[in-house]
Amino acid sequence: MVAAIGDVLWDDFIGDCALGLFVSFVDHGTDPNCTGGNGLTEVYAIIVFLFVLFALLGSSVWVGLALMGVAWVGMELFTSRPAGDAMITTIWTGASSWTLTALPLFIWMGEILYRTRLSEDMFRGLAPWMRFLPGGLLHTNIAGCTIFAAVSGSSAATLNMVGKMSIPELRARAYPEHMIIGTLAGAATLGLMIPPSLTLIVYGVTINESITKLFMAGVFPGLVLAGLFMAYIVFWHFFGGGSRPEPEPKMSFFKMIRESVFLLPVMGLVCVVIGSMYLGYATATEAAAVGVIGALVLSAAQGSLNWASFSQSLMGATRTSAMIALILMGAAFLSLSMGFTGLPRAMAELIEGYNLSPVALIAVLTVFYLILGMFMDGLSSVVLTMAIVEPMIRAAGIDVIWFGIFLVVVIETAQVTPPIGFNLFVLQGMTKHEIGYIAKTAIPMVGLMLLMVVILVIFPELATWLPENIRQRN
């Protein structure tokens, strides 16, 4: 009893002290001699936001709820507006966006196709044509990930889909283990860039930009990055050490054509989804709905559609969509809260004061997102930073469409870098190798993705030409 009373008194004492310090802190911030936005200086705002954020994330609170918690504290500190009313209005406005409808539909399309025989069919269709290239069937990792990325939107789904078929086949043909794992780890990240990309949807919704234009912007850079991966395999074939697998048995041209038929269903679905957006016949949301119908038809034609697979795909899409939606809700509320502090504007003015060139700013942001990606997943990195980064890039005159593709490339790199590289954990579950070994095999791919950043800076038209020339529906 005494101990219980002591605990209560101690809690009250701590609460009173915290309240006193809080009031003193606010009074100091509202002193006329202090500089800053709404009473507290930008430095105080940064300290408060970061402290609350890391405290919540460190206590294993969901990212979406952590963002809401930070925003709530910001609203209470920096404005007299009721935090509850602001949160309800902001969350509803963000969650009811029509553009956001494309997200669960594309996720569902990928979930449906994940439960089909698509990976087996892709390997059968690609293998006859990849066998002639230097490096042989290792190219099926790249080509398979490129194709499936165009119907999944997720690097994890792409990795699972292609890896479950290519890893056993390539091991059976005695291909080097480090090349099998390394090329797959890098190529799977194409699911973040090649449309329909879930990351680009989240980025577009966050900055209120056209999802269709962002999708089109990712096509050429995605193909160039896939080309770099394949060029690395060719380089390894001629200059890499170690043994080479036995050449594949000869196959007649007629049989090669016959095997290629297995690629037609997925290639048809890719052309319908992406082509409808480029030609202006469908928005991203409408193309997603068409993609779901096409995936259901393809699954039914393969005989893999039943009530169990249908319900599993629906529940899988629901779980993923709810997780992303919660993060977006928290990000929207956090953006509103930060707006009251003047922090985004102050950061933009600070960068402008340094007179950094756009290239220098991109170099700084590359390092920043690589470090951030070591500890957070890609979607969280995007929504957490856009409230501050967007005014900076707009003030520097950087095209937001181009920046979205740059951001995806850097996030792709973080997907295969420890300690929180998500693709590394997926591959560990598939191959039973240590994380350190998998990360080591992916080092060349990380270098190629950083090279892709340089290529985007030198040739920005890779990301901007297609969106500028997209046809608009009458």
pLDDT digits (tens, 9 = 90+) for 348-404: 666 667 777 889 889 989 988 888 777 667 777 787 788 788 888 888 889 999 999
What backbone torsions phi and psi does residue 287 show, to the nearest 5 degrees? -65, -35
Instruction: State pLDDT tens for residues 57-66.
Output: 677 777 778 8
Integer angstrom CA distances of residue 201 from 20, 137, 144, 246, 436: 44, 33, 23, 43, 32
Q: Is the pLDDT of residue 1 over 70?
A: no
Tell me the longest C-alpha to C-alpha distance in the chain: 89
Helix (H) or strand (E) holding 387: helix 378-395
Summarize the confidence of residues 19-26 as an average pLDDT. 35
Helix (H) or strand (E) holding 182: helix 177-188
| Two structure tokens written together for 12 | 């009250």
The more confident residue out of 7 and 192 is 192
Helices (H), 219-377: 219-239, 253-260, 264-278, 284-302, 307-341, 343-353, 358-373
Amino acid at 208: N
DSSP 237-249: HHH--S--PPPPP
Q: Pick the range with the lowest mean pLDDT from 29-38, 73-82, 182-191, 462-471.
A: 29-38
Q: Rounded CA gap, 210 and 347, in Å? A: 25
Of 44, 43, 6, which Cα lies nearest the Cα of 26? 44
Residue 245, preceding peptide bond in cis (omega within 30° of 0): no
Axis-axis angle for helices 378-395, 400-415 (nearest 10): 150
Contacts of 107 (CB under 8 A, 6+ apart): 153, 154, 198, 316, 317, 320, 321
The more confident residue out of 120 and 385 is 385
* CB atoms near residue 263 (< 10 Å): 17
Amino acid at 240: G
Contact predicate 155/188, CB 8 Å: yes
Residue 196, preceding peptide bond in cis (omega within 30° of 0): yes
Helix, strand, or coil (residue 213):
helix
| Two structure tokens written together for 219 | 């096509």
- Chain mean position to CA 236: 29
Q: Rounded CA gap, 169 and 115, in Å? A: 19
pLDDT at 348: 65
Contacts of 452 (CB under 8 A, 6+ apart): 221, 224, 225, 228, 409
Residue 419, preceding peptide bond in cis (omega within 30° of 0): yes
Instruction: State pLDDT tens for residues 314-355.
Output: 998 888 888 878 877 887 787 777 777 766 666 666 666 777
**Within a 13 Å sphere around the CA of 409, how many CA atoms are in the beta-carbon half?**
32
What backbone torsions phi and psi does residue 355 show, to the nearest 5 degrees? 55, 40
pTM over cut 0.95: no
Q: Rounded CA gap, 251 and 259, in Å? A: 10
What backbone torsions phi and psi does residue 281 show, to the nearest 5 degrees? -80, -20
Q: Rounded CA gap, 471 and 228, in Å? A: 29
Q: Rounded CA gap, 7 and 338, in Å? A: 36
Instruction: State pLDDT tens for residues 256-314.
Output: 888 888 888 888 888 888 888 878 788 888 888 988 998 899 888 888 888 888 998 89
